Amino acid sequence: MTRRQCSHCPWKVGTDPRDIPNGYDVAKHRALAETMAAPGAFNPAELRIMACHESAPGRELPCVGWLHNQLGDGNNLALRLAVIRGRVAADIEIDGPQHETFEATLPRR
């Protein structure tokens, strides 16, 4: 089943993450930098996934925008292996232009 990017995804260009429902926290957003693959790094045991803010607690799903970035330009090798092994579903559909970097997803003052 294809998962479509949610309307308030911070990876979408033009989205203000402060509009994310149920309380936005810039400190928690910044901490998600840990989910970004370091260039050339490969440690499948340390795969950290950015959860979609609309997924239910305890039943978190990966953020579609994050998946798109990390499977593309982000070149997250541990994530690619998890997809190949069927641990992470990557049948996704993005909605419009996306930010190229995690830093660009953070709110502009």
pLDDT surpasses 80 at 18: yes
What is the separation of C-alpha 14 from the centre of its chain, rounded to a whole number of angstroms?
16
| Mean of pLDDT values over 80-84 | 95
Pair of tokens at residue 97: 């232009």
Tens digit of each residue's pLDDT (9 = 90 or more) over 39-62: 778 888 889 999 999 888 899 999
Q: What is the pLDDT of residue 1?
A: 87
Tens digit of each residue's pLDDT (9 = 90 or more) over 24-45: 889 999 999 999 998 778 888 8
Within a 13 Å sphere around the CA of 86, how many CA atoms are in the beta-carbon half? 0
Average pLDDT, the chain: 92
